[in-house]
């Protein structure tokens, strides 16, 4: 028995499913989760000493690779001054100034502890601002595990094939309306049915929790127009795209303005951080200035802020990171596409910048329904083939592959060779 297997056996006795987040359980791809001991640069090492070229990158935040020395030093230094104060600090002011200076339409920002918290708070703010209750979300988009948003959600919910979670009172999702990603008419119909009741439309500007599903040309622009016409708040959930597609996130990448934006782990370089921000007029509804209550002892935690500030400052000083990363993504996923096409397999490659994935289906993927046509059994075989060659992909069809600035072209060429071997079989 490997150390990972032994640890997982112990874990299953004391942690539900042996994991602290469902996708990690390897349930849909089989086998035992690798218990990770450490990570550095592009590699993770498990408790048995196996190393893996990592394409999960903590689900995105390790955009510069794992254990970056500048970020590590900032964290160690911050620890010397104490771990938490539950009081205001200079670092959180710097962090807010940095974000506001770069991101369009973010005049004010509030730090929280996770993407889930950020979205939950942004929704409350949009409701408080508009005085309306209903929200529109898209099937297959994942916005964390707060009650109102666990309706036909992506990510682990989709992997487990559970359209709606148990334990969510019906009343909590009564005001959650579901639309079809990339289908403007499905949103129009909802606005026509509830012209004065919709507080917000929340969207992953690039679907990245049903596999990677980029927005169709004009889709995000149409959401902007509909929100303007009906007086609703447009929320971009940039937990995955924020500071990944570029400093300005999906707003800048696609040239579409949002009213509120949510961020997650990337803001803290992997530490437990989230944030929501947006137009001043809306953010001033948040307590203590306004009536929308939201609070948290660990919000703006000094150590987490030090990590996030170090990462964002590095990115600010090296804006070429984004150009190179997006170019690397275009090259790599382009090569993947060629391999897939040459293999004659029924498969689709989707990508946006450094995010991408392969769906094993003949159907072009543009939303939740089409994503679900993917042969997840074949994904499991693909995942295990890659893992056996030391390549760590998301242990689920319905997640993204994350490239980092640390991945070299040589490493990526090696990945293409291993993929080719799989496609040839
Ligand atoms: N929901 C996360 C991916 N979109 C997975 C989180 C985790 O397992 O760490």
Tokens of 149: 């948003």
Q: For residue 21, how far is its CA from the centre of ligand 1 (angstroms)?
A: 6
Backbone angles phi, psi at 41, to 5 degrees: 60, -120
Write the residue with the smallest CA distance to atom 9 of ligand 1.
Answer: 21
**What pLDDT, on the 0 to 100 scale, is given for residue 358?**
97
Q: Is the CB of 105 under 6 A from ligand 1?
A: no
Average confidence score pLDDT of the chain: 96
Tell me the C-alpha distance between 4 and 332, whole Å.
Answer: 31
Can you say whether the dihedral through the CA atoms of 123, 130, 138, 56 is positive or negative?
A: negative
Instruction: Tell me, in angstroms, the distance from the centre of ligand 1 to residue 116's CA.
Output: 11
pLDDT at residue 239, rounded to an integer = 98
Question: Helices (DSSP H) in 318-408: which residue ranges?
Answer: 320-343, 368-371, 376-388
Residue appearing with tokens 């997006």: 326
Residue 29: pLDDT band (50, 70, 90) is very high
Q: Does the Cβ of 155 fall within 6 Å of ligand 1?
A: yes
Model pLDDT for residues 87-137, shown as the tens digit of each residue: 999 999 999 999 999 998 999 999 999 999 999 999 999 999 999 999 999
What average pLDDT does range 53-60 have in this prediction? 98
Contact 304, 74 (CB under 8 A): no
Q: In the predicted model, is pLDDT for residue 274 greater than 70?
A: yes
Round the CA-based radius of gyration of the chain to a whole number and report it: 21
Does the Cβ of 156 fall within 6 Å of ligand 1? yes
Residue 20 Cβ contacting ligand 1 at under 6 Å = no
- In this predicted structure, what is the pLDDT of residue 424? 87
In this predicted structure, what is the pLDDT of residue 161? Answer: 62
Kindly state if the Cβ of 249 falls inside 6 Å of ligand 1. Answer: no
Compute, in angstroms, the gap from residue 379 CA to the centroid of ligand 1.
18
Residue 23 near ligand 1, beta carbon < 6 Å: yes
Res. 303 pLDDT band, cuts 50 70 90: very high
Q: Judge whether 265 counts as a catalytic residue.
A: yes
- H helices of 208-285, where? 219-230, 249-254, 280-283
Percent of the chain scoring above 90 in pLDDT: 93
Tell me: pLDDT of 59 over 90. yes
Calculate how far, in angstroms, residue 308's C-alpha sits from the geometric centre of ligand 1: 19
pLDDT tens digits for range 321-371: 999 999 999 999 999 999 999 999 999 999 999 999 999 999 999 999 999
**What CA–CA distance (Å, rounded) separates 188 from 150?**
22
Per residue in 199-234, pLDDT (tens digit) is: 999 999 999 999 999 999 999 999 999 999 999 999
Residue nearest to atom 8 of ligand 1 (CA): 21
Of 265, 279, 328, 372, which residue is the catalytic one? 265
Active site annotation includes 52: no
If one residue of 44, 59, 145 were mutated to test the ligand 1 pocket, choosing by the most ligand atoms within 8 A of its CB, it would be: 59
pLDDT in tens, 157-195: 777 666 678 898 888 889 999 999 999 999 999 999 999
Predicted structure pTM score: 0.97
Euclidean distance between CA atoms 176 and 119, whole angstroms: 14
Please work out whether the CB of residue 209 comes within 6 Å of at least one atom of ligand 1: yes
pLDDT above 70 covers a percentage of the chain that reads 99
Closest approach atom of ligand 1 to CA 400: 4
């Amino acid at each position: 028995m490997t150390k990972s297997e032994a640890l997982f056996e112990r874990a299953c006795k004391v942690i539900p499913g042996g994991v602290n987040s469902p996708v990690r359980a390897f349930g849909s791809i089989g086998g035992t989760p690798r218990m990770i001991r450490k990570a550095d640069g592009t590699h993770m090492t498990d408790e048995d000493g196996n190393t893996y070229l990592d394409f999960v990158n903590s689900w995105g935040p390790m955009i510069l690779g794992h254990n970056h020395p500048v970020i590590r030093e900032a964290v160690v230094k911050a620890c010397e001054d104490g771990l938490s104060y539950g009081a205001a600090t200079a670092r959180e002011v710097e962090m807010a100034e940095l974000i506001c200076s770069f991101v369009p339409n973010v005049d004010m920002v509030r730090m929280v502890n996770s993407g889930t918290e950020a979205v939950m708070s942004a929704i409350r703010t949009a409701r408080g601002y508009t005085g309306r209750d209903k929200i529109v979300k898209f099937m297959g988009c994942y916005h964390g595990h707060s009650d109102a948003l666990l309706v036909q959600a992506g990510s682990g919910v989709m992997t487990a094939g559970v359209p709606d979670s148990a334990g969510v009172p019906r009343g909590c999702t009564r005001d959650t309306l579901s639309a079809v990603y990339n289908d403007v008419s499905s949103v129009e119909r909802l606005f026509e049915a509830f012209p004065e009741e919709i507080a917000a439309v929340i969207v992953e500007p690039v679907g990245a929790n049903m596999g990677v599903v980029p927005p169709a040309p004009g889709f995000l622009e149409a959401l902007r127009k509909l929100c303007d016409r009906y007086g609703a708040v447009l929320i971009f959930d940039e937990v995955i795209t924020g500071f990944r597609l570029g400093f300005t996130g999906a707003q800048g990448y696609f040239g579409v303005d949002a009213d509120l934006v949510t961020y997650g782990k990337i803001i803290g370089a992997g530490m437990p951080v989230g944030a929501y921000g947006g137009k001043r007029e809306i953010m001033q509804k948040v307590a203590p200035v306004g009536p929308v209550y939201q609070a948290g002892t660990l919000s703006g935690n000094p150590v987490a802020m030090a990590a996030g500030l170090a990462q964002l400052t590095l990115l600010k000083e090296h804006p070429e990171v984004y150009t190179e990363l997006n170019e690397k993504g275009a090259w790599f996923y382009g090569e993947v596409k060629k391999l897939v096409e040459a293999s004659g397999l029924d498969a689709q490659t989707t990508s946006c910048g450094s995010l991408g994935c392969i769906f094993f289906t003949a159907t072009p993927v543009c939303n939740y329904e089409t994503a679900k046509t993917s042969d997840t059994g074949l994904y499991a075989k693909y995942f295990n083939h890659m893992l056996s060659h030391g390549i760590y992909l998301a242990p689920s069809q319905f997640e993204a592959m994350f490239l980092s600035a640390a991945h070299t072209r040589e490493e990526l060429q090696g990945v293409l060779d291993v993929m080719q071997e799989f496609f040839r079989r």
